[in-house]
A and B are shown apart, each in its own frame.
Chain A
Amino acid sequence: MTSAIRTEKLGKTYYSGFFRFPYPALMDLDLDVPEGSAFGFVGPNGAGKTTTIKTLMGLQRPTAGGGWIHGVPISDPASRLRVGFLPERPYFYEHLSASEFLDFYARLGDVPSSERGGRVAKLLERVDLGRFRDVPLGKFSKGMLQRAGLAQALIADPDLLVLDEPMSGLDPIGRALVRDLIVEERNAGKTVFFSSHILSDIEAICDRVAMVVGGKLRGQGKVSELLEGAVQHVEIGLRRGDERETRNVPPAESNAALVKAHGEGWTIVNVHPVSKTLEQLLLDEVERARPVVTKRLGVLA
């Protein structure tokens, strides 16, 4: 399977203050986003998610390593030819109406003039903004802006959608709309790469996920694989006559526990390894990375 996004040792260090103190926001990121996948990019605030996305989108230059989109280096604007991007907390031209706004981005995305009008109208309907096509964006609510932003990302019919926190600050209806849209795009064979704090959404939508904490990648792969390797405990269901019991034992002790239960005369009804949720997995990684993050922040102190 070819990669929609690939990075090798990608790094970004910011320099601040008069003495240009270094602050490494991203280190040695090796990312591989296969084409056609819905890929979740998770991590706590300040983990380096937005830095990664901005670097991939050509808004910042990497200070180490490299990245490729559809095989084209990210330093080349052509790498973004088949890409739709929605930044975190979108800011748009307030003087434009919704349809003018989409038409502008359609022009920048090289959409032929014969197709622009139809595509703008269709997309506005798709994000439920058809009634507001002539309303200036300055009068839009946050949720409406987010939807307009999504339409902007989709206007050139991209093969790869890059969405930075697309559900942040949305009400449940808005979140559902965004979620449905991501699923539709994934089902249409498009690649969707998005960051989110809402891990339940990531678990529900994504087939793959990458976890970044303290500027470093802490794991990536299929969601099921990541959670499989993170078995929290083994749940053993037992029966002895009318008596029933459930025992939770650490994975390493499960065999011994089974032998012991058998020796006590219990019939083993089921053995169920209970995995951590993505959220627990992330919290563990944050805890594990704490000394590194503290040290990293200490550079600035």
Chain B
Amino acid sequence: MRPANLPGLAFARIYAVASNTFREAVRDKVLYSILFFAVILLLASLGLREVALGDRDKVVRGVGLGGISVIGAIIAIFLGVGLVWKEIERKTIYTLASKPLPRWQILLGKYLGLWATLAAEVGILTVMYTLIIGYQQGMPGAGVYLAMGMLMLELTLVTAFATLFSTFASPMSASAYTLCVYVIGHFADDLYTFGKASNNPAFQSFTLAMYRVVPNLGMFNVRTEAVHGMAIPGTEVMWAAVYALGYTAAVLAVAMAVFERRDFK
């Protein structure tokens, strides 16, 4: 009998699930509507130059980068929350989970397929951004591309949360949970500062515990530095990468454990 768990076979199966997920996502018309909206947003940012105060070029660059970041998060949440739920709801999970592959391989494959979709989306938007800014202000600096890389790290983590919630909640609930993580994650530093400012030791401990548990998504935001042409330290990028990958691995491990225990009625 052929062994079920040879590393080569595992890779081939994960790749098959990932490519099917990618193919499904890029054939989804809703995705193109979001992408179209993103392009309109980028083009509209050009018009800001005429009405903005201060350094108009920086405003345009900042709004463009911010727009890509928000659109990236919307796509990550939109696709991520339905990732597993859709398979169960449409009952395609019956033929998928009955194949000789462990469930963690299904989940990892689906996650990687979604990640590849996001990378393609961010890639397309980055090209659009480059063309628009390049036409108006000349080629953007390297910091902009580093900011896009940091955005991908952030989306890697946000998508892992969306995938986790998708293993047990409906898309509506999973969207709400992921949005909560996204919003709290962006205010993690403020949570810490807020606790420090308090004189209540119990409240301080609570905010510190919260700060340590929720993902610190603020650390991936280097858009201000990119827009102003400031240096972004390499150690900061490296630490962010380690943090994103480590946190993602932990969240996916929980998602796999939940998915492993599910009955498909």
Contacts and interface: CB of A to CB of B under 8 A. Distances in A.
Interface of A: 14, 54, 57-61, 70, 72, 76-83, 85, 87, 89-93, 95-96, 100, 104-105, 107-110, 149, 152
B5 interface: yes
A96 B95 CA distance: 14
A59 B264 contact: yes
A178 to B, nearest CB: 17
A136 to B, nearest CB: 9
B98 A59 contact: yes
B45 to A, nearest CB: 33
11 contacts: A54-B94, A58-B98, A59-B98, A60-B264, A77-B4, A78-B1, A80-B99, A85-B94, A96-B20, A108-B16, A110-B12
Contacts of B48: none
Contacts, number: 94
Contacts of B12: 107, 110
Nearest to A79: B100
B99 A108 contact: yes
Contact-size category for B: 20 to 34
B209 to A, nearest CB: 31
A40 B20 CA distance: 34
A81 B97 contact: no
Given A60-B263, A77-B4, A110-B9, A85 B101 contact: no
A95 B23 contact: yes
B4 A76 contact: yes
Given A59-B98, A108-B17, A149-B95, 6 more contacts: A57-B97, A61-B261, A80-B99, A85-B98, A87-B98, A110-B2
A91 B90 contact: yes
A82 B20 contact: no
Top 8 nearest A-B pairs (CB, nearest first) are A78-B4, A107-B16, A91-B91, A57-B98, A87-B94, A108-B99, A59-B264, A60-B263
Contacts of A108: 13, 16-17, 96, 99-101
Contact of A93 (B9, B20, B99): B20
Nearest to B105: A77
A61 B93 CA distance: 15
A61 B101 CA distance: 16
A190 to B, nearest CB: 16
A91 B101 contact: no
